Amino acid sequence: MISRNIMLNGSTKTVVASEKDSLADILRAQMGLTGTKVGCNQGQCGACNIIMDGKLVRSCITKFSRVPDGAQVTTIEGIGTPEALHPIQVAWIAHGCAQCGFCSPGFIVSAKVLLDTNPSPTREEVRDWFQKHRNACRCTGYKPLVDAVMDAAKVLRGEMDVDELHFKIPEDGRIWGTKYPRPSAIGKVTGTLDYGGDLGLKLPEDRLNMALVQATVSHATIKDIDTAEAEKMPGVFKVITHKDIPGKNRITGLITFPTNKGDGWERPILNDTKVFQYGDAIAIVCADTEHHAKDAAAKVKVELEPLPEYMSAPAAMADDAIEIHPGTPNVYYIQKIAKGDETATIFDSADVVIEGDYYVGRQPHMPIEPDVGFAYKNDDGKLVVHSKSIGLQLHAAMIAPGMGVELEDLIMVQNPTGGTFGYKFSPTMEALVGVATLVTGRPCFLKYDYQQQQAYTGKRSPFFMNMRFAADKDGKLQAMETDYSVDHGPYSEFGDLLTLRGTQFMGAGYDIPNIRGEGRTVCTNHAWGSAFRGYGSPQSEFASEVLMDELAEKLGMDPLELRYKNVYREGSTTPTGQAPEVYSLPEMIDILRPKYKAALDQAKAESTDAVKKGVGISIGVYGCGLDGPDASEAWAELNADDTVTIFNCWEDHGQGADAGTLGVAAEALRVAGITPDRIKLVMNDTSKAPNSGPAGGSRSQVMTGQAIREACQALLAGMKKPDGTYRDYAQMKAEDIAVHYVGQWTAPATNCDENSQGSPFSVYMYGIFMAQVAVDTATGKTTVEKMTLVADIGSINNRLVVDGQMYGGIAQGIGLALTEDYEDIKKHSTLAGAGFPYIKQIPDDMELIYVETPRKDGPFGAGGVGELPLTSPHASVINAIYNACGVRIKRLPALPEKVLAGLQAK
C-alpha cells in the first residue's frame, strides 16, 4: 500500500491504496466520485477521463503508483454542479449531447482541457482532440458534441451569453416539436446520475460481488464441474452451479410461432450438460470483493469433451452437422412469403433480371457501459432485480420459471442505462444476479468487463441472402424472389420473429406486385442473436438496396430515378400486402434530387486518380411496434400539489424515454394549463408502474405515447367542469372524483399469415439516405465525407431527441458498412478490435431533412424514430463506393483490403 496527498477538486485528501489500483477505481470506490465512469477499462473509450496536473488522463489505465504526491486532480464533480453548471455542461444539454449520457462526463472533462489550452478551436481541431484522446460515443454521431464545444467556447470567450443556451419555453407553453432538454440531462452532464456500476458501489456492506466461470470453447459436452478448490479461496461465500438453482435453470424464449421446431427452453441460466457458445456461464462465484471472486473463479475446474463447432449458418446446415440441441434440427424455423402471382413465369419472360448474393454480419452493439446489474430481497420477501433491461415485464416472464420464483414475487427495475441499442431486449445477467441472491440470501452485484460484454451478450444475427428482381425495360419492378438463412446463434429467443422481418422488409419501399421467398432460422455455435437497432432491416434492406443499384446499372438508369419510379404511391402495397399509411416517398425524393445532382457533380469534379469520390442512395423503411395488435399501458394521476405524475415502463436505453413521456403528457395536458415543470415521471419499476411493453421496434413513442395520451385525456375528462374549466386536486376530492386514471392503447394491426401477408404495423417510418464518399485507390480506405437523410417519421415530439437518434443511427450504419464486426472471438473482443467508429471515422457534415406527415395512429401524429436511421445507411455507403471506383462490396464490412482487392481485380 502507498499513501498520496492529492488536491481533489480543490480539497486536500489523503489517499491510501495499492500501487496497482487504478485511479478510476480509487476515485469511484474509495472517494465516492462515481461521476468518473469506467467503460472499456482499457483506455479505449475515454469515459474515465479526469484532469491531473492540467493534463487529460484516462484514469482506468493510470495506476496509483503513477499519481505524484501533491497531484491536482479534477473530476467531473469539480467542473460543475447541478446548481452551478459549467458552460460546457450547459452547451451539452442545449445540443442534446447527453443521450444515454454514460460517456458525457469523460467528453466534458476532455473538452475542458481542450478549451483551457485552445480557447478558439476550429471544428476540425475539436474532432482531432477527441480522436487523439480516444473519446468514444455510440449514441450521438459526434456532430452535436462538436456543436456544443463550439458554443461553449463562444461563452468562455465572452462572445455569447450562457443564457442564450438555456431553453426558453414558448409563450404558448407548448414544448411539442421543440428542443426541450430531456429531464435526465443535468444528472448526466454533472456525473450525479447513478448508473448500474455506481449503484453497485453504494449497495449495503453485506453485498456479494460475483464473477462468472465461463466457457472458453464454442461447443462441448460438460463432463464435470469441480468447485472444491475455489470454495477454499479467500473471501468466497458460495460457488453456485446448476445444481443450486431452485427453478428449471432455463430462460424461456417465449416462442411465438407454432411452426417453430424448438421449444424455446434451450438457454440455460448456468450450463449443465453442454457448452453451446464461447462465454457460456457454467458457475458463479460470490465473494466479498470482485478480486476475490475472480481469483476463485479461475480455480473452478471444468472438464469438457469437445464437439464440432459450427460458427456460421452454412456450417450448421451441412449434411454432416450434428444437432446442436439434440432433438431439435439446426434449421428450426422456416418463413415463407407469397404475394401476388407465381414468380417463376414472370422471371422467364421479364425484360431484365438481376440477381445477387449478400451478407450482413454479426454487428456488435458496443455500448460504452458494459452490462451490469444486481439483485436483493426486499422487506416483503420479493426478489428485486436491477439491470439495463429494456423489457422489464417481458424479462420477468422469461426468467421467473428458470429461477424458481413466482411472477408476483419478482420485481424488475431498470437502472439509468449507458446504451443498449437492443441487446437488452434479451435478458443477459438478470437471471444470474437473481439466482445468486436466491441461493446466498444476500444482495449480489455483477458487472461485465468489456471482453465479457463482447462475448456474452447478443449480436446482430448475420443474414446470408440471395435475391433477384424482374423488371420491364422501363425499370418497373415486376417480381422479387428471395432465399436467405439467419445465423441466430445457439439460442432461439425471437429468432422466428427476426426471420419474419426478412420477408417484411426485403424490397420495402417499393411496389413489387409479385413476391416469392423463403427464409430460415439456423442454430449455430457463434454468438447468440439478439435485437439490434433496425432488427432485421439492416440485413434485408442492404440486399434490396444494393440490388436496386445493380438493376439501375443494367438498365442504364440513374439509381435515384429507378427508385422514384418504383416507390410506394396510391395503390401500392408493401411486401406483406398492406397499403402504406402515408405516401411521402415521392415527395422525399423530389426534395433530395437537387442535392443528389449537386453531389454527383461535386464528386466528379473532385475525383483524382489517387482519390475517387462517389455518391450513393438507399431507401429505408421500418414499422413501429411489435407485430399485430401490440398494446401498451400508462397511468396519469393528479397529485395533492396539483402536479401530475405519469407512470409507465417506457424503458430508456439512451433514446430519450423521459423526454418522450414528458412531451406527450405536456401536449395532452396543456389545455388545462399544466406546464412541463408540473409533470412528474415514475418510470421503469414493475412494482410502481404498469406494463408498457418493451422498448424495441420503435414502438414506444407510438404505443406508449398513445397510452399516455389516453391516460391524460381520461384525467382531463375527470377534471373538466361543465363550464369548460378544470378542477384542481382539492375540488376533485371534494366531489369524490377519481384522481388516478389508466390509459391503454392497442394498435389496429394484424399478424402476418404463414405467407407473410398481413398488416403487422399501423405506423411506419420512411427515409432516404445519401452518402458521399472518398476512396483512396492506393489503400482501399473509404472515408464518408457527408451523409444526408430525408426522413418522414410523422410529427416530431422532441427535436433534440429525434436529431440525436438520427445522427447516432447513421454513425452506426457507417460503422456497419466499413469497420464493425464480431466474427473473430479473440480479435474482436475490444472496442478498437471490433471496429468501433471514433469521431474521425464519422463525417461532421450530416444533414437532416424532415417531412412531417402526421400519422393517424400516432400520438399527436408522431411515429417512432430509433430504428429508421440504421435501416439502410450502410447500403448508401456501399453504393457510393461503387459509384466512386467501380468496386461492389456485397459482404460487409467493406474493409480497405476488400476494396483494394476489388480495385486490383479491375
Active site residue 587: no
CA distance 59 to 15: 15
Which residue type sits at 619?
I
Cα-based distances in Å from 6 to 17, 21, 59: 13, 16, 15
Q: Which of 553, 785, 867, 897 is catalytic?
A: 867
* Residue 724: count of CB within 10 angstroms of its CB: 7
Strand partners, 12: 7
* Residue 643: count of CB within 10 angstroms of its CB: 15
The DSSP H or E segment spanning 714 is: helix 700-719
Which residue type sits at 44?
Q
Is-contact 71 64, C-beta < 8 A?
A: no
Residues 6+ apart with CB under 8 A from 516: 337, 338, 339, 342, 343, 344, 479, 480, 481, 482
* Residue 583: count of CB within 10 angstroms of its CB: 17
Cα-based distances in Å from 822 to 237, 317, 330, 526, 846: 35, 21, 21, 10, 27
Burial of 595 (0-12, 13-18, 19+ CB in 10 A): middle
122 is written with which cell numbers? 476550429
**Starting from the edge strand earliest in sequence, which strands make up the sheet with 846-850, in order?**
611-623, 764-776, 782-792, 846-850
Is-contact 489 526, C-beta < 8 A?
A: yes
Classify residue 642 as left (phi > 0), alpha (psi -120 to 50) or beta.
left
DSSP 424: G
**Neighbouring C-alpha atoms within 13 Å toward the C-beta of 570:** 0
DSSP 617: E
3-class state of residue 469 by DSSP:
strand
Residue 576, φ and ψ in degrees, nearest 5 = -90, 5
CA distance 612 to 603: 8
Residue 462, φ and ψ in degrees, nearest 5 = -65, 145
361 is written with which cell numbers? 454480419
Strand partners, 420: none
What is the separation of C-alpha 322 from the centre of its chain, rounded to a whole number of angstroms?
34
What is the separation of C-alpha 890 from the centre of its chain, rounded to a whole number of angstroms?
24
CA distance 707 to 580: 23
CA distance 23 to 3: 13
Is-contact 48 88, C-beta < 8 A?
A: no
Residue 212: which of 230, 232, 235, 234 has the closest Cα?
230
Query: Is the peptide bond between 869 and the residue preceding it cis, with omega within 30 degrees of 0?
Result: no
User: Helix, strand, coil proportions of the chain in percent (round to 5)?
Assistant: 35, 25, 45
763 is written with which cell numbers? 405506423
- Residues designated as active site: 867
